[in-house]
Amino acid sequence: MHDYKKLLVWQKAITFVSEVYKITAGYPKIEQFNLVSQINRAAVSIPSNIAEGAGRNSDKEFINFLAISHASAYEVETQLIISRNLGYLADLDLQYLLHQVEEIQKMNFSLQQKLRNNKR
């Protein structure tokens, strides 16, 4: 088992969720149960799957949950771009959030590689 709270990728993902929630709070009410809900769920999935995987009994299982987390990061990235295209998100906010999520994606991938290499 791994101590997920010590993982920088988990810490950054927690901060990212807070930022996403703050920004999506300003979306139109019509999107509250559509795009906002989807973005927020996908964002929460990033650190949640890191934590769940860290609590599993093997690195193989941890890698699997990191992969799910990684996919959620790409899902959020896509939804944020859609938000900008719909006029719900300013370009500056989009760039800020994309920078954060891309950093999380890179860190997640690196952690997966490290765990894979430890198995060899």
28-84 tens-digit pLDDT:
999 999 999 999 999 999 999 999 999 998 999 999 999 999 999 999 999 999 999
- Taking the domain 4-22+34-119, which CATH number applies? 1.20.1440.60
Which amino acid makes up residue 105? Answer: Q
25 by Cβ neighbours in 10 Å (0-12 / 13-18 / 19+) ranks as exposed
- Judge whether residue 1 has pLDDT over 90: no
47 by Cβ neighbours in 10 Å (0-12 / 13-18 / 19+) ranks as buried
Q: Which of 18, 27, 23 is nearest to 46 (CA)?
A: 18
- The three state secondary structure string of the chain is CCCHHHCHHHHHHHHHHHHHHHHHCCCCHHHCCCHHHHHHHHHHHHHHHHHHHHCCCCHHHHHHHHHHHHHHHHHHHHHHHHHHHCCCCCHHHHHHHHHHHHHHHHHHHHHHHHHHHHHC
Q: Specify the pTM.
A: 0.94
Mean pLDDT of the chain: 96
- Predicted local distance difference test score (pLDDT) of residue 50: 98
Give CA separation, 47 vs 85, 95, 117, in Å: 26, 21, 22
Mean pLDDT of 1-8: 90
